[in-house]
Amino acid sequence: MITIVDYGLGNLGSIKNMLKKIGVVSDITDDHAKIFNAEKLILPGVGAFDDGMKNLREKGLIEILSKKVLIEKVPVLGICLGMHLMTQSSEEGKLPGLGWIDGQVVKFPDSHNEQKLRNPHMGWNVVNPVNKAENGIFKSDFKELRFYFVHSYYVQLSNSEEVIGQTQYGKHFVSAYRKDNIIGMQYHPEKSHKFGMAILKNFNEI
């Protein structure tokens, strides 16, 4: 069972449907008792950083989620905005993040090496696995891993050893990170067809 955290932002139904396709039972909830008993968590998200943190606080979810993740070491997967919220802060907002990961979220520049960049970065792009810390998250039979992205901001980490995936957009940026039981993905596995199915299956097997 994977518990999908409902804090009012994110493609909750799409994630649940993708998990169903690979035979994984999941539950969408903001119920404290259900989250307290969760074996694995997905923190999704589409929207603004401050809205996400505000919703988590108003639903009383920050304390219980931090206990599950930091003390009980329950595996958690942050997707897109969820990945951002697990860091310390974001240029997009003023509120502090959850602080589970030592890093901050920054906006893509308008250009890189005189190459203009469209913002948001949107569409399919390649994720290149790096570092042993990924520990099977990218396990697959595919020669190349392609995922669907929609974002204007990306994560900068203080510890490069926590980077497990990089993607080229003007320059290389962090498209996936892992710190022990905490995993973040900038792309949307629920929109990435067979590639997303493989990733979610690997997460379920942790």
Indicate if 32 belongs to the active site.
no
In whole angstroms, what is the distance from residue 94 CA to residue 52 CA?
Answer: 12
Catalytic residue among 58, 190, 193, 205: 190
Contact 175, 121 (CB under 8 A): no
CA distances from 177 to 31, 38, 43, 134 (A): 27, 22, 14, 8
Q: Is 190 a catalytic residue?
A: yes
Q: Which of 80, 92, 134, 162 is catalytic?
A: 80
C-alpha angle 32-35-38 in degrees, rounded to nearest 5: 155
Helix (H, G, I), strand (E, B) or coil at 114: coil
Catalytic annotation present for 80: yes
d(CA 91, CA 5): 24
Please identify which of the residues 112, 188, 193, 205 carries the catalytic annotation: 188
Catalytic residues: 80, 188, 190
